[in-house]
Structure 1
Amino acid sequence: MLNLISLIVGVVTLPIMLVGLVPLLGWINYLVIPMAIVGLVLGVLSSSNTGRNLNIVVLIIGAVRLSLGGFIF
């Protein structure tokens, strides 16, 4: 059950993160990173790895995009 919730959080967070890749919309990643962390925690608590892995990918891409923009844009 927790894996399904984690997967849903990851699937909702992924398109938001993709919008955050657009120049001048990088601030959206400040919203994506906490959402991905919540999904990651739920994925760690579950017995399966699918939701956890999806949230790790979203978290890493969002953090890299935010750092490339100098934590501003």
Structure 2
Amino acid sequence: METKGLTAVLILKFNKFLFFETFFFIFYILLFKLHLYICEIKIQYENIIKQYLVVEEFTSNVVNKASYGIVKL
């Protein structure tokens, strides 16, 4: 009789262990997906900054050439 009770306690503890393991496994998967999403946003932000710098350099070159032409006149 006592072995059945001990078996039941062990099964309940094992089920509790599985519940927490499953919960943490799902939690870590979600955390990893969040990490990937943040990295993707960071890459997109860096690309936007690079595009802005290219446009800024182009416009500064145009302004410099235009001002050089005005000064030369």
User: Shared fold (TM-score greater than 0.5)?
Assistant: no
Structure with bigger gyration radius: 2
- Structure of higher RCO (CA pairs closer than 8 Å, 6+ residues apart): 1
TM-score, L = length of structure 1: 0.32
TM-score (norm 2): 0.32
